[in-house]
Amino acid sequence: MNFETIKIGVDGPLAVVIINREPQLNALSGTVMRELTAAAEMLDGDDNVRVIALTGAGEKAFVAGADISEMQSLEPAQAQAFAEQGGRLGTAIERSSKPWIAAVNGFALGGGCEVALCCDFIYAAENAKFGQPEVKLGVIPGFGGTQRLARRVGIAKAKELCFTGDMINAQEALRIGLADAVFPATELSAKVKELAGRIAANGPLAVAACKRIIDQGQSMSLDEALALEQRTFGQMFATTDQREGMSAFLAKPRRAAQFKGQ
């Protein structure tokens, strides 16, 4: 597919999606969100891709927010439609069968923080900044920030960030659980690739199943979630990957499994 505002590169099993609007600090316009959603759906169907990383062009911003120039004159119904478009993007990332890593290389504010929250992991450069500053514009987060942020860092801290609009640095994001790891900017790409490699070496059907049942289980009772886990565990034994993984483990000498996602 040809994209106007994003670029996609593939490095072995890792696909890297770059939001390519550096002069606009990679702000989320309607076009960016449509293209990111299409890319997420396309990559989800690519069997050669096992992990997806999302980052922003340049050194200043991951995504500095939604495109305010595009939002400024929206009527209420149009604004809701814009938020729903952001919601579709978040759902496409969150429900992807592939793990997503947000490589936050600078500002992740407003919609940028919200998109990062949709990813399975948030790796940040030391210069990264996070925040939900929408109240400073007289509005609220519209792409999931009030909900996903609370689920990740707790209700009180989410209220503090959303009520004040304060921006926090990478170390504070790490301390409260918003970021999973922080690295020097020059090491961020390599650390993301390293994590992707460790994930990609495993059975892709098993990784996808783990992602699905962990996420689904959050809205279930513990008994329901455990039953889902048990059913899914059993289903794994109908796969070629299970037979390959266990055969490789029991081989003398033990060998690396060659998973095919079947």
Q: Is the pLDDT of residue 1 over 80?
A: no
Q: Which of 123, 89, 131 is nearest to 105 (CA)?
A: 123
Is 94 assigned a catalytic role? Answer: no
Q: Is the pLDDT of residue 156 over 90?
A: yes
pLDDT tens digits for 18-73? 999 999 999 999 999 999 999 999 999 999 999 999 999 999 999 999 999 999 99
Matching CATH topology for 6-200 and 204-250? no
pLDDT at 82: 95
Chain centroid, CA 2 distance in Å: 22
Residue of 94, 134, 160, 229 with catalytic role: 134
Average pLDDT value for the chain = 96
Query: H-helix or E-strand containing 108?
Result: strand 107-109
Q: CATH says 204-250 is which class?
A: mainly alpha
Residue of 35, 114, 172, 244 with catalytic role: 114
Taking the C-alpha atoms of residue 179 and residue 128, their distance in angstroms, rounded to an integer, is 10
131-136 long-range Cβ contacts below 8 angstroms, 24+ apart:
131/161, 131/165, 131/166, 131/167, 131/168, 132/161, 132/162, 132/165, 133/65, 133/109, 133/165, 133/166, 133/167, 134/110, 134/162, 134/165, 135/162, 135/163, 135/164, 135/165, 136/165
Distances, alpha carbon 138 to alpha carbons 63, 78, 156, 165, in Å: 20, 17, 21, 11
pTM: 0.94
CATH of the domain spanning 6-200, picked from 3.30.565.10, 3.40.50.11740, 3.30.2420.10, 3.90.226.10: 3.90.226.10
Is 114 assigned a catalytic role? Answer: yes
Q: Where are the domains of the chain?
A: 6-200, 204-250
